[in-house]
Amino acid sequence: MADLHINFAGIKSPNPFWLASGPPTNSGYQIMKAFDQGWGGAVWKTLGVPVVNVSSRYGAINHRGSRVVGFNNIELITDRRLCDNLREMEEVKKYFPDHAVIASLMVQTKKEWQQIVLDVQNAGADGIELNFGCPHGMCERGMGSAVGQEPEVLETITRWVMEVAKIPVIVKLTPNISDITEPAQAARRAGANAISLINTIQSLVGVDIDKFVTYPVVENHSSNGGY
């Protein structure tokens, strides 16, 4: 059989097929199942301060009587505790030492960024991805695409990470910007090892014009979560 091994920016993997951060990479169990099925790597569902997610993770776009012609992403970052994710990350690396496990991260302050980098390194992650792309829920709090749309802020945060990172760092960009090369160059100036393209294209599946709210209508279950 052909040898599909890769070395991507210093991260080794048995093949170039990796799962992107999202619902399929939300737990160690899912990632180990994916590796069993042949995937070479996985970017863990973004870690940070857990939020309460909406129960459906997708909004469905219906068109002219056809149900579900497309999906939009209404999920936020992980809704699981950091300590649980770190324990499972360690477990995945124990069973799959040669597969690529990338920790996707999103926090706010310099102290939080540097601490979470140390945490995932200790858990055995092979690389780190900085989530500067999520288009809703987190950007209103100054994270995700709010950073990907501000090259100077992106550069500052990436430098904080590079100060403590001992494993390769990938910067994940948002497509919701007029010129994506600007944040990409900022990532390069800060010393990032790679960039990844792209996070979610911003979209609305529809608007309830009587209530002036967007579809899907989702209850906000707590002050720190919901869509």
Strand partners, 196: 172
Pairing of strands 127-131, 100-105: parallel
The answer to whether the CB of 125 falls within 8 A of the CB of 167 is yes
- The position carrying tokens 């090369």 is 181
Return the SS3 of 18.
strand
- Does 110 help bind ligand FMN (rule: CB under 6 A)? no
Q: Which of 6, 15, 20, 182 binds ligand FMN (CB under 6 A)?
A: 20
- Does 77 help bind ligand FMN (rule: CB under 6 A)? yes
Among residues 139 and 212, whose Cβ is nearest to ligand FMN?
139
134 labelled catalytic: yes
Cα radius of gyration rounded to whole Å, the chain? 18
**Least distance (Å) from ligand FMN to the CB of residue 133?**
6
DSSP 47: B
Cα distance from N-terminal residue to C-terminal residue, the chain: 46
- Does 176 help bind ligand FMN (rule: CB under 6 A)? no
Size of the site for ligand FMN (CB under 6 A): 18
Among residues 64 and 112, whose Cβ is nearest to ligand FMN?
112
User: Which stretch, 73-81, 88-96, 109-117, 205-213, contacts ligand FMN (CB under 6 A)?
Assistant: 73-81
Identify the helix (H) or strand (E) that includes residue 41: strand 41-43
**Least distance (Å) from ligand FMN to the CB of residue 129?**
7
Q: Which of 11, 42, 100, 134 is catalytic?
A: 134
Among residues 39 and 211, whose Cβ is nearest to ligand FMN?
39
Q: How many CB atoms lie within 10 A of CB 130?
A: 29
Structure tokens at 219: 């209850």
Q: Which of 131, 158, 176, 193 binds ligand FMN (CB under 6 A)?
A: 131
User: How many residues would you count in the chain?
Assistant: 227
Which residues contribute to the site for ligand FMN (CB under 6 A)? 20-23, 45-46, 57-58, 73, 75, 77, 104, 131, 133-134, 172, 199-200
Residues annotated as part of the active site: 134
